[in-house]
Chain A
């Protein structure tokens, strides 16, 4: 269960202060798939970063499995980011000079686990890109890069997978493949999936969705979601 209570995020101070999130509250059941829909600047990414332990809200609290995320120590938050969540970026953020395998293993490397290679190969198998394991990341196409990025997100078997505009940099055919992969993963490994998008067509495919405008939830749907 993910519970968001009165989360507000204000950037800057005084007259130049900007309220990116304004008392956002909702709760989401474990294993659900949620789309956060909104235009650029609506606050949807800020919400996701707050949920993912990347951006501390100005006020309000976020409970993940009944545990308050932002009152934890930095060490605990680092551990949360590394072990409990997986992150899929719009811009992939792969190390171009390193191999696909090395890129995927980095999560496990930070965690300090051994037998990283086997686990990373397994993740690459799930995403059907294991044949590229020893290629440099820069040699891949956009779709392939996004699959590697997803493999990196799931290799640590996280409870929640976040995806920030996962299809934003992909053509429509590749987008469909990536969408399918994400939905399959949600069902297959029972991770909660939270996707941020500005694409109405994509969010329509989710069972749960919230629409954000000017830092507030203006619309929502879904059985596993309570607003």
Chain B
């Protein structure tokens, strides 16, 4: 008997028991829907994170100095008055140990590492106010940030890749305060005011080269009243000198940033930096993205596991349906065997029927899941985009759909083994005599 004829016969049998077949397929498709949606959700989360982080290069390493911790000690360490370092009570990047401040010399030493293009300390500076050069109205600056080596999208103007000392990028929240559109802001001169070490206000003039969104993905975040100014590292360094020179903590920094010439040198640079001082803690955005993908994958897998339980229940539905089918069609099986159909083909016939149920269930589930995807992604388009899901919260991939269809075909085949074997073992004469 040809395989095509067996499959055709399988379809005919399923059609004959329409309601039962449909119900079994529906049960299976519900499992398929949840599985496909779960995988689609995982895809969307991953792709959203990837898009958000795509602009962030892995070229910048953050270096901190952890206090040498005695791993065997318990309790809190005793205060050492001769330590000559300021102990900061914040957790290190890997959750353990306290962070010591780094000296300028230590930081400069990092520049000797091969593959390091630039090294700079974390300049913590603060501004009192900002105002247009030709205006008297001044506004607060909530956060002063250093230039980023990542691509940042500007609403107006450009986010410089090659910063001049006089460049400033402001958040779009200043547009209302200045009474200008974001486009009008570009090119305007602004004056910032800050206290120097003698508590005297100093002013410095900058040119607005770009305006960015306050709420920019995983980047700088803030409400509609938060003012953020971004400056070049050089400008920050000079303001830092104005603010802290000759103070006790001058040239002691919580962390340093290291710009690598390429991602290829990251591994070597990391070990070289660690070789300088084993207490250096290193972190880069890749550590962060790795953690995020691990978490996302775990969530997706966990949810998929729940769908798996639904599918398991559906598999028992297939076993039930096919067993009933064997009982009902005992005479037909007897006839087919009496007419010379080999036992092997009888088994195949029932296996194919189970697989057909599985594949149709998977396809139906996929189609419904696709509908759900379109519905949710379009209905909540704006809300999702605001939350950072630019490409929607469900994102079905061909690979996942293929996986689900093949997987469910396989599952159904396994579920159909017991009924198929039962059919295979029927004695034709007894089957025909059955009333």
A interface residues, Cβ below 8 angstroms from B = 49, 54-55, 74-75, 78-83, 87, 89, 91, 93, 95, 97-98, 106-107, 109-112, 152
Asked whether A54 and B332 contact (CB < 8 A) given A110-B1, A112-B5, the answer is: no
Asked whether A107 and B339 contact (CB < 8 A) given A55-B429, A89-B432, A112-B2, the answer is: yes
What separation, in Å, do the CA atoms of A81 and B88 have in the docked complex?
91
- On chain B, the residues within 8 Å of A109 by CB distance are 1, 5, 9
- On chain B, the residues within 8 Å of A95 by CB distance are 332, 335
State the Cβ distance, A102 to closest chain B Cβ, in Å: 8
Tell whether B428 is near chain A: CB-to-CB under 8 Å.
yes
The 5 A-B pairs with the shortest beta carbon distances in the complex, nearest first, are A82-B340, A81-B340, A93-B335, A110-B341, A78-B342
What separation, in Å, do the CA atoms of A91 and B428 have in the docked complex?
15
Tell whether B71 is near chain A: CB-to-CB under 8 Å.
no
Among A49, A97, A107, contact of B16 (Cβ-Cβ < 8 Å) = A97
Tell whether B338 is near chain A: CB-to-CB under 8 Å.
yes
State the Cβ distance, B210 to closest chain A Cβ, in Å: 74
State the Cβ distance, B228 to closest chain A Cβ, in Å: 74
Tell whether B103 is near chain A: CB-to-CB under 8 Å.
no
B interface residues, Cβ below 8 angstroms from A = 1-2, 5, 9, 12, 16, 331-332, 334-336, 338-343, 345, 428-429, 432
A110/B339 in contact, CB under 8 A: yes
What separation, in Å, do the CA atoms of A190 and B413 have in the docked complex?
46
A93/B432 in contact, CB under 8 A: yes
- Closest B residue to A80 by beta carbon equals B340
Among A49, A79, A111, A112, contact of B429 (Cβ-Cβ < 8 Å) = A49
B340/A54 in contact, CB under 8 A: no
- On chain A, the residues within 8 Å of B343 by CB distance are 74
What separation, in Å, do the CA atoms of A107 and B2 have in the docked complex?
12
A98/B12 in contact, CB under 8 A: yes
B339/A54 in contact, CB under 8 A: no
B340/A83 in contact, CB under 8 A: yes
- On chain A, the residues within 8 Å of B1 by CB distance are 109-112
What separation, in Å, do the CA atoms of A78 and B345 have in the docked complex?
11
The interface centre, meaning the residue of A80, A89, A109 with most chain B CB atoms within 10 A of its CB, is A109
- On chain A, the residues within 8 Å of B429 by CB distance are 49, 54-55
A74/B342 in contact, CB under 8 A: yes
Among B16, B334, B339, contact of A81 (Cβ-Cβ < 8 Å) = B339
What separation, in Å, do the CA atoms of A2 and B98 have in the docked complex?
100
A81/B338 in contact, CB under 8 A: yes
State the Cβ distance, A99 to closest chain B Cβ, in Å: 11
- On chain B, the residues within 8 Å of A111 by CB distance are 1, 340
What separation, in Å, do the CA atoms of A36 and B285 have in the docked complex?
91
Give the dominant DSSP class at B's interface: helix
B336/A54 in contact, CB under 8 A: no
- On chain A, the residues within 8 Å of B5 by CB distance are 109, 112
A78/B12 in contact, CB under 8 A: no
- On chain B, the residues within 8 Å of A55 by CB distance are 429
- On chain B, the residues within 8 Å of A91 by CB distance are 432
B331/A54 in contact, CB under 8 A: no
- On chain A, the residues within 8 Å of B339 by CB distance are 81-82, 87, 106-107, 110, 152
Among B331, B332, B340, B432, contact of A110 (Cβ-Cβ < 8 Å) = B340
What separation, in Å, do the CA atoms of A112 and B335 have in the docked complex?
17
What separation, in Å, do the CA atoms of A68 and B340 have in the docked complex?
18
Can you name 25 A-B pairs with beta carbons within 8 Å? A49-B429, A54-B429, A74-B342, A79-B340, A80-B340, A81-B338, A81-B340, A82-B339, A82-B340, A83-B340, A87-B338, A87-B339, A89-B432, A93-B432, A95-B332, A106-B336, A107-B339, A107-B340, A109-B1, A109-B9, A110-B336, A110-B341, A110-B345, A112-B1, A112-B2
Among B9, B16, B345, B428, contact of A54 (Cβ-Cβ < 8 Å) = B428
- Closest B residue to A106 by beta carbon equals B339
- On chain A, the residues within 8 Å of B345 by CB distance are 110
State the Cβ distance, A31 to closest chain B Cβ, in Å: 22
State the Cβ distance, A97 to closest chain B Cβ, in Å: 5
- On chain A, the residues within 8 Å of B9 by CB distance are 109
State the Cβ distance, A5 to closest chain B Cβ, in Å: 22
What separation, in Å, do the CA atoms of A82 and B336 have in the docked complex?
10
- Closest B residue to A87 by beta carbon equals B338
- On chain A, the residues within 8 Å of B432 by CB distance are 89, 91, 93
- Closest A residue to B8 by beta carbon equals A109
State the Cβ distance, A182 to closest chain B Cβ, in Å: 19
- On chain B, the residues within 8 Å of A78 by CB distance are 340-342
What separation, in Å, do the CA atoms of A74 and B342 have in the docked complex?
8
What separation, in Å, do the CA atoms of A83 and B332 have in the docked complex?
19
State the Cβ distance, A45 to closest chain B Cβ, in Å: 9
- Not counting A79-B340, A107-B340, a sample of 12 additional A-B residue pairs whose C-beta atoms are within 8 angstroms of each other reads A49-B429, A54-B429, A55-B429, A75-B342, A81-B340, A82-B339, A89-B432, A93-B338, A97-B16, A106-B339, A109-B5, A110-B345
- On chain A, the residues within 8 Å of B12 by CB distance are 98
What separation, in Å, do the CA atoms of A89 and B433 have in the docked complex?
11
The interface centre, meaning the residue of B2, B331, B340, B428 with most chain A CB atoms within 10 A of its CB, is B340
- Closest A residue to B16 by beta carbon equals A97
- On chain A, the residues within 8 Å of B338 by CB distance are 54, 81, 87, 93
